[in-house]
């Protein structure tokens, strides 16, 4: 039920539209999504979408940091094994 | 798919599994609160990869499973009115009521429509002015903002044929009820990432402090779950108990304040009956009086509907982590996804359905 899927905002209604809808691309599948919970959303950003609403942005920097930290942990483990 | 594939990567899964094994943990119980996390754990067989001492306990975080049977019965009753178009998220349709499910009611001729978004229900009401469109509003804090927004849109556009049967539940009181019950010893929690996307993480910090328990706010992909377990197990071993945010790419400390405001505008707090668990104080959301003209429980006569649970089902104990689906006598024989007796066998994130679909019997 709490499933949310990341998608890229490719088109966005004017800022004063209500509800403010966006075209969100989920790896080729495009859906209309309501963006009222993220008033300062911009085209090109990624959002987590749940029941047709964008719940929050996906922070690309945090995602990259997380993946980098995991890879670095592997390097440390390897060095310790040598 | 970006932000999904990287978090299902086998190499990264292996690194995290190695790190967890290197902790050499004592016997510990970690509960993943959310049913979608349970689904990932079973789907990717993550339990098999973990040290034997780490026991994952599946929590109550499946709103479909905990929606009380009387709501299903009321939904079916409402759908039987000739001028009603009853709308629901697809997850709810096969959940057993006292006599039948919404899907069986639909097969017998009632007009029940599966919707993807509450905005679909609004559109149906606009397109069918001579019908009453009733929307079954369920879910945790993740779904409450969308449902609230649709309710505001309905009222602002003066729709007089849109109604809501509401059975929203809240995660923090349920987690507290589990931790206070002392029926099961939990050493750590994986908090539900998408609930926290809306609520933020301060309620987790409060629970960590109050119950001296480490919590990792955790995402839903295999890398997320394993990293959440690693963070939590490290804290348990070093006897620490604070809240960490594993799911920083989506969850911020304050959550989505715009979404929180919309929930508070539409809903107030109430006591709520959880299927299998009983009533939990302050664990539900009800429509505020300003929206009572949309409240199906007030507009339609629903009080006389009787309900009864199938006594063979042990869903309550499974949802509290006291038993696993295999402990149920009817699991996999009398109760299967095609012929469900209890709600957790139907819901996509129900523990029984996950065990049935992904574990060898």
Here the ipTM equals 0.93
Question: From the list A26, A55, A62, which residue is nearest B249 (CB)?
Answer: A62
Test A50 with B142 for CB contact under 8 angstroms: yes
| CA of A4 vs chain B CAs: smallest distance (Å) | 7
| CA of B251 vs chain A CAs: smallest distance (Å) | 8
Q: Does domain B66-169+258-299 have CATH number 3.40.50.11740?
A: yes
pLDDT of residue B263: 98
pLDDT of residue A82: 58
- Residue in A9, A51, A63 to test binding to B, most B beta-carbons within 10 Å: A51
pTM across the whole model? 0.94
pLDDT of residue B320: 86
* Interchain contact A15–B (C-beta under 8 A): no
Test B153 with A27 for CB contact under 8 angstroms: no
Q: Average pLDDT of chain A?
A: 91
Question: From the list B16, B140, B195, which residue is nearest A70 (CB)?
Answer: B16
Residues in chain B with pLDDT < 50?
Answer: 361
A81: pLDDT confidence band, cut at 50, 70 and 90? low
Test A1 with B2 for CB contact under 8 angstroms: no
| CA of A14 vs chain B CAs: smallest distance (Å) | 18
| CA of B210 vs chain A CAs: smallest distance (Å) | 26
SS (H, E, C) chain B: CCCCHHHHCHHHHHHHHHHHHHCCCCCEEEEEEEHHHHHHHHHCCHHHHCCCCEEEEEEEECHHHHCCHHHHHHHHHHHCCCCEEEEEEHHHCCCCCCCCCHHHHHHCCCCEEEECCHHHHHHHHHHCCCCEEEEEEEECCCCHHHHHHHHHHHHHCCCCCEEEEEEEECHHHHHHHHHHHCCCCCCEEEEEHHHHHHHCCHHHHHHHHHHCCCEEEECCCHHHHHHHHHHHHHHHHCCCCCEEECCCCCCCCCCCHHHHHHHHHHEEEEEEEECCCEEEEEEEEEECHHHHHHEHHHHCCCCCCCCCCCCCCCHHHHHCCCCCHHHCCCECCCEECCECCCHHHCCCCCHHHHHHHHCCC
**For residue range B240-286, what is the model confidence (pLDDT) as tens digits?**
999 999 999 999 999 999 999 999 999 999 999 998 888 999 999 99
The number of distinct structural domains making up chain A is 1
**Which CATH number belongs to the domain containing residue A19 in this structure?**
2.30.30.140
Test B139 with A67 for CB contact under 8 angstroms: no
Question: From the list B140, B227, B249, which residue is nearest A63 (CB)?
Answer: B249
Test B16 with A77 for CB contact under 8 angstroms: no
Test B34 with A2 for CB contact under 8 angstroms: yes
Domain span at residue A76 reads 5-81
**For residue range B330-351, what is the model confidence (pLDDT) as tens digits?**
999 999 998 889 989 988 788 9
Higher pLDDT, B40 or A77: B40
Residue in chain B closest to A59 (alpha carbons) equals B249
pLDDT of residue A73: 81
């Amino acid at each position: 039920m709490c499933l949310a899927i990341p998608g890229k905002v490719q088109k966005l209604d004017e800022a004063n539209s209500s509800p403010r809808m966006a075209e969100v691309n989920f790896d080729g599948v495009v859906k209309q999504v309501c963006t009222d919970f993220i008033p300062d959303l911009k085209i090109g950003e990624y959002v987590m979408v749940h029941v047709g609403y964008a719940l929050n942005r996906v922070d690309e920097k945090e995602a990259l940091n997380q993946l980098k930290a995991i890879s670095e942990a592997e390097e440390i483990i390897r060095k310790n094994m040598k | 798919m970006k932000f999904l594939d990287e978090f299902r990567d086998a190499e990264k899964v292996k690194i995290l599994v190695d790190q967890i094994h290197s902790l050499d943990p004592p016997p510990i119980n970690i509960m993943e609160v959310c049913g979608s996390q349970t689904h990932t754990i079973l789907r990717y067989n993550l339990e098999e990869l973990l040290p034997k001492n780490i026991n994952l306990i599946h929590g109550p975080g499946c709103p479909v499973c905990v929606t009380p049977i009387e709501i299903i019965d009321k939904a079916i009753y409402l759908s039987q009115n000739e001028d009603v178009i009853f709308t629901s998220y697809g997850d709810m349709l096969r959940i057993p009521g006292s006599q039948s499910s919404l899907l069986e009611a639909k097969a017998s001729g009632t007009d029940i429509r599966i919707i993807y978004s509450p905005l679909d229900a609004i559109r149906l009401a606009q397109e069918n002015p001579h019908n009453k469109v009733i929307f079954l509003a369920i879910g945790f804090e993740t779904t409450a903002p969308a449902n609230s927004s649709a309710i505001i849109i309905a009222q602002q556009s003066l729709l007089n044929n849109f109604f809501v049967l509401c059975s929203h539940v809240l995660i923090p009181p349920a987690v507290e009820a589990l931790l206070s019950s002392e029926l099961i010893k939990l050493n750590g929690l994986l908090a539900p990432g998408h609930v926290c996307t809306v609520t933020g993480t301060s309620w987790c910090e409060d629970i960590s402090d109050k119950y001296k328990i480490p919590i990792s706010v955790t995402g839903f992909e295999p890398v997320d779950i394993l990293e959440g377990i690693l963070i939590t197990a490290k804290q348990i071993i070093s006897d620490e108990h604070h809240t960490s945010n594993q799911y920083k790419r989506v969850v911020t400390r304050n959550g989505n304040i715009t979404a929180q405001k919309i929930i508070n505008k539409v809903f107030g707090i109430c006591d709520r009956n959880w299927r299998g668990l009983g009533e939990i104080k302050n664990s539900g959301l009800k429509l505020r009086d300003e929206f009572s003209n949309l409240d199906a429980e007030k507009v339609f006569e629903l009080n006389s509907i009787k309900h009864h649970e199938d006594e063979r089902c042990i869903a309550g104990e499974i949802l509290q982590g006291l038993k696993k689906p295999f402990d149920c006598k009817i699991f996999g024989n009398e109760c299967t996804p095609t012929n469900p007796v209890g709600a957790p066998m139907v819901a996509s994130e129900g523990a029984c359905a996950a065990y049935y679909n992904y574990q060898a019997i």
